[in-house]
Amino acid sequence: GGGALSSCRRASHHEKLQVAALPSKATLEFEHGVSLRSAYIVPEDVQAAGFQIDADELASIVESRDTKKLTVHGQLNGIADKLGTSLTNGIVTDKDLLNQRQDIYGVNKFAETEIRSFWEFVWEALEDTTLIILSACAIFSLVVGITTEGWPQGAHDGVGIVASILLVVSVTGTSNYQQSLQFRDLDKEKRKILVQVTRNGLRQRVLIDDLLPGDAVHLAVGDQVPADGLFISGFSVLVDESSLTGESEPVFVNEDNPYLLSGTKVLDGSCKMLVTAVGMRTQWGKLMAVLTDGGDDETPLQTRLNGVANTIGKIGLFFAVLTFIVLSQGIIGQKYLDGLLLSWSGDDVLEILDHFAVAVTIVVVAVPEGLPLAVTLSLAFAMKKMMNDKALVRQLAACETMGSATVICSDKTGTLTTNRMTVVKACICGNTIQVNNPQTPNMSSNFPEVAVETLLESIFNNTSGEVVTNQDGKYQILGTPTETALLEFALLLDGDCKEKQQGSKIVKVEPFNSTKKRMSTILELPGGGYRAHCKGASEIVLAACDKFIDERGCIVPLDDKTSSKLNDIIKAFSSEALRTLCLAYREMEEGFSTQEQIPLQGYTCIGIVGIKDPVRPGVRQSVATCRSAGISVRMITGDNIDTAKAIARECGILTKDGIAIEGAEFREKSAEELHDLIPKMQLKVLARSSPLDKHTLVKHLRTAFNEVVAVTGDGTNDAPALREADIGLAMGIAGTEVAKESADVVILDDNFSTIVTVAKWGRSVYVNIQKFVQFQLTVNVVALLVNFTSACFTGDAPLTAVQLLWVNMIMDTLGALALATEPPNNNLMKKAPVGRKGKFITNVMWRNIVGQSLYQFAVMWYLQTQGKHLFGLEGYHADIVLNTIIFNTFVFCQVFNEVSSREMEDINVLRGMAGNSIFLGVLTGTIFFQFILVQFLGDFANTTPLTQQQWLISILFGFLGMPIAAAIKLIAVEPHEKADTRRTP
């Protein structure tokens, strides 16, 4: 339920959390003393709706684990009656009844933080220091201007600056507001969790938000408890309550301790629970009310860019101060010479103000506040698009990290394969048959009846799956894909699930987990006595057997000859990429008590099944794409080594020089041996691995080899590796809630190809921001140089404050929009990854920036010195016309440079431009407004309308920047990204 809280924030909340929880506990305990003396009275509205207990009373039972109160209300059955529900069939799904229940007990949603209004974002943008200084300048300029020249002549400068500031603020405000809405959608996506409930006696999946008190919810390993509730029935349930209590020790939940709290995680076992409180009435909901959600942390790239922005800002500030001194020293020197230092006229003040405004605007232009904006825009855009490509990004930074990933450690089951399993071969009593073969209509006739009976008893009772009747009255099998495959197989053998399950009583269950690699159950037989059933990884279960059922149906000792024959069958199944499971049972001795551990030896082997899990279509190609992109793919699986090798070959992961080893061997290796084993691109497959092996491998890759590692996982046991990795990718369908909580990206369709798409988008984000930085730095350098040199040599700045603000707007906000939203192209996956050490501003970028800046500066300087002569300008009007031409040319240089910036190395910058509507929109908008600004808004922008010829020449100078940029790209530079050659496969 706490999808909104990121894990890093959660740690710091623990202290607050304990503080929040304590007072409520104390007051509750005091109230209980009182409330139990006076009998509980049901509020009238609750009674009218047909219930016998109100929401707060219900919530308090679980919240304070109040056993007395639970007894007062008649334990579990009493509460179920008062809630108008059945522990076996759940609630009745009549629409009116559901609404009634909802009115009394609330919905399973958390109160959302207030949506910040658009104006708050505008206000935030206004709080920018440089903008405040500029506003002060504008107001001062308005006052002085109107007093000296009167309205409206004296107000033009001031109004122009104010208008520009408002424009900048509204654009920044809008983009931030849009982004906050996007995060909201993301939180909604995170809440789309399905839980299994029984309603009307039928198992069904409902959205977590639709849960109501009275629902009977089924929980299994890896689920997050979706609401507060009471334990109905189940086996060996172990719950991690650390997110609520801070206690790391897991808690056993059973009849004696029946309290389940929302937000906690099921670590082991499975159970059914009765929901008692939802939404804001749960422990977790109350906590969420105490803790307001913290802001999002900055992504690594934003932090890096803030550093760049600060440095440039300081350089800008230095130049601004210099420019102000150079511009103002003339007028102040003149006054000093005339001895009039103390008498100032309005015009003098205005002139100094103008100089000050220009200096401040130089700072505005120099500080690239568009950098963090570009990152956020680019990431938000990528996130939205990745949702359509079936990837839900939970942490913004993951997008960008994924772009520099150098290794992907992938699970096999469900990621590389489809996770739709079927039993295709079985070896029972030494006979191997093809299961999916239509030629064997009545399969059970091939084997002795006693063997089939035992096999069916084993499959139907020793399972975490269930055969249920769904709403249409058809059979439906629920459970993990492996369980489903086995149950389907049993139904094919004409087994009747209900009959087998009613015939015997399950008294103890040890669920499957990845360390034991087996699942065991103990049955109490109808005639007395106990029988244990066990199934799991073939070599492990077979090693525990000392007898087997032969083709006559007799139980005979398992000698070496038979044992090696069975092992050969397992090998043969595995080499066909089948996953093998062995089923076995043993009769328990007299005097066995259910408190004892289920024994690990002395079993009788019933049979071996081979389960096919076909490789997903497109995986082979995705692996090849990764290889060409310099990303090495490794497979980590719990399967046996032959199956793992067969599948890895099929996917193209295991190549001729690659090696595959088992977890046991991997654990024995010393750090030095690992150092030799992993990097030479050798270790491709790790089979029979434990979650700890996965964690070790990831850690080793990250620390010893400095790789950027992406890891996929779906089980609870994968959480440590997902957290350890640079990017954790959890599976949306097969993944447990615990895995999703620990991951940065959730792959909604569980498909390996989607992971490649995420990598592609990640690279796209990185490259887009590089393009933007290259574009922006060019403008910064030129604007600084033009105004500074001009101030030094002519005592006048050609670009006024309003003009610079407009340029700032083009390059910061609009430039970010245009360049940061370029979709990825396929060339991105042909380069080596950036890795951990890659520099952000590369030599290629420096080459483009320096080259383009020199060209633009040369054009500006030429216009400034030779412009009047070139255009034949004279008279008092000449200066303003020339300055307008310089401003116009400067803007067109940026427009064409923006197009050149679409590619950093390729000459063809027009490829795919027609398809990018945002880019085209920004360019058209810029040109349109530039035209308006020059031709009609002369008073504000200090411009004057230009002739056709002057327009053409301005545009031509701008356009010349493109062939120049192309020529610059031909200069070879030593790119430092290629230093990491060991990665290119």
Structure-block tokens of residue 951: 């327009």
Q: CA neighbours within 13 Å on the CB side: how many for 182?
A: 22
Q: What is the pLDDT of residue 739?
A: 82
pLDDT tens by residue, 781-796: 888 888 888 877 876 7
pLDDT band at 901 (very low <50, low <70, confident <90, very high): very high
196, 690, 719, 771 from 515: Cα distances, Å: 26, 6, 15, 49
Confidence class for position 230, pLDDT limits 50, 70, 90: very high
Exposure of 70 in the CB half-sphere (CA atoms within 13 A): 19
Instruction: Look at residue 582 in the predicted model and tell me its pLDDT.
Output: 93
pTM of the model: 0.74
Q: Report d(CA 233, CA 77) in Å as an integer.
A: 12
Element (H, E) at 710: strand 709-713
At which residue do the structure tokens 């279960």 appear? Answer: 541
Query: What is the rounded distance in angstroms from the CA atom of residue 246 to the CA atom of residue 235?
Result: 25
Which band of pLDDT confidence, cut at 50, 70 and 90, is reported for residue 950?
A: very high
Least confident of 279-283, 464-468, 817-821: 464-468
The stretches of 108-241 forming alpha helices (DSSP H) are 118-126, 129-149, 156-190
Q: pLDDT at residue 813 above 80?
A: no
> In CATH, what class is 299-380+761-970?
mainly alpha
Higher model confidence: residue 959 or residue 133? 959
pLDDT of residue 891: 93
Q: Which of 53-57, 466-470, 865-869 has the lowest average pLDDT? A: 466-470
For 660, the 3-state DSSP assignment is: strand
Assess whether pLDDT exceeds 80 at residue 177: yes
The whole-number pLDDT of residue 258 equals 92
CA dihedral for 825, 829, 831, 833, sign (positive or negative): positive
β partners of residue 259? 230
pLDDT, residue 262, reads 87
pLDDT band, residue 437 (cuts 50/70/90): low
What CATH number is given for 36-108+211-292 in this structure? 2.70.150.10
> Rounded to the nearest 10 degrees, what angle do helices 55-63 and 95-105 cross at?
70
Q: Using CA atoms, how far apart are residues 909 and 206, in angstroms rounded to an integer?
A: 50
Q: Which residue intervals of 429-559 are DSSP H helices? A: 449-461, 481-492, 497-503, 538-543
Report which of residues 290 and 135 the model is more confident about. 135
What pLDDT, on the 0 to 100 scale, is given for residue 298? 64
Higher-pLDDT residue of 292, 454 = 454
- Report residue 743's pLDDT band, with 50, 70 and 90 as the boundaries: confident
Give the pLDDT confidence score for residue 621 in this predicted structure: 92
**Whether CATH 3.40.1260.20 fits 422-464+495-612:** no
As a whole number, mean pLDDT of residues 178-206 equals 79
Least trusted range by pLDDT, from 150-164, 779-793, 905-919? 150-164
Residue 4 CB-density burial (10 A; 0-12 exposed, 13-18 middle, 19+ buried) = middle
Is 60 exceeded by the pLDDT of residue 32? no
Q: Is the pLDDT of residue 367 over 60?
A: yes
Structure tokens at 331: 């007028």
Q: What is the average pLDDT score of the chain?
A: 82
Torsion angle of alpha carbons 923, 929, 934, 935, nearest 10°? 120
Using the predicted structure, report yes or no on whether residue 247 has a pLDDT greater than 50: yes
Task: Please identify every residue annotated as catalytic.
Answer: 411
Q: For helices 878-900 and 948-968, what crossing angle results, to 10°?
A: 40
Model pLDDT for residues 923-936, shown as the tens digit of each residue: 999 999 999 989 98
Query: Which residues are 431's β-sheet partners?
Result: 428
Q: Which residue has the tokens 């005979």?
A: 556
Tens of pLDDT, residue by residue over 626-665, are: 989 999 999 998 888 888 998 999 899 988 888 899 888 8
- Predicted confidence (pLDDT) per residue in 273-305, tens digit: 999 999 888 877 777 666 544 445 566 677 777
d(CA 526, CA 264) in angstroms, rounded, equals 38
Nearest to 928, CA basis, from 891, 972, 983: 891
Long-range contacts, 918-925 (Cβ 8 Å, 24+): 918/817, 918/818, 918/821, 919/818, 919/819, 919/821, 919/822, 922/814, 922/815, 922/817, 922/818, 922/898, 923/818, 923/895, 923/898, 923/899, 925/814
Ranges 469-473, 765-769, 840-844: which has the least confidence: 469-473
Nearest Cα neighbor of 175 from 381, 364, 361, 367 is: 381
915 vs 802, 875, 911, CA distance in Å? 33, 48, 9
pLDDT at residue number 947: 92
Phi, psi of 204 (to 5 degrees): -150, 165
pLDDT at position 121 is 86
Q: What is the pLDDT of residue 507?
A: 85
Of 28-37, 437-446, 620-629, 643-652, which gets the smallest average pLDDT? 28-37
Residue 267 has pLDDT above 90, yes or no: no
Distance, CA of 590 to CA of 598 (rounded, Å): 14
> pLDDT by residue (tens digit) across 93-131?
888 888 888 888 888 887 766 778 889 888 888 887 767
CATH of domain 392-418+616-750: 3.40.50.1000
Query: Could you tell me which residue, 849 or 833, shows the higher pLDDT?
Result: 849
- Half-sphere exposure in the Cβ direction for 608 (13 Å, CA): 28
Read off the pLDDT of each residue in 540-549 and give the average, rounded to a whole number. 90
- Could you say which DSSP state residue 203 is in? E
Strands 228-240 and 259-260: antiparallel
830 near 628, Cβ under 8 Å? Answer: yes
Residue type, 282: T
Residue 217: band (very low, low, confident or very high) from pLDDT cuts 50, 70, 90: very high
Instruction: Please provide residue 571's backbone torsions phi and psi, each rounded to the nearest 5 degrees.
Output: -60, -45
User: How is residue 208 annotated by DSSP?
Assistant: G
- Nearest-CA neighbor of 282 among 244, 337, 330, 333? 244
What is the token pair recorded at 474? 């058809």
Query: Which of 160-169, 267-276, 852-861, 966-975 bottoms out in mean pLDDT, i.e. has the lowest?
Result: 160-169
Residue 33 pLDDT exceeds 60: no
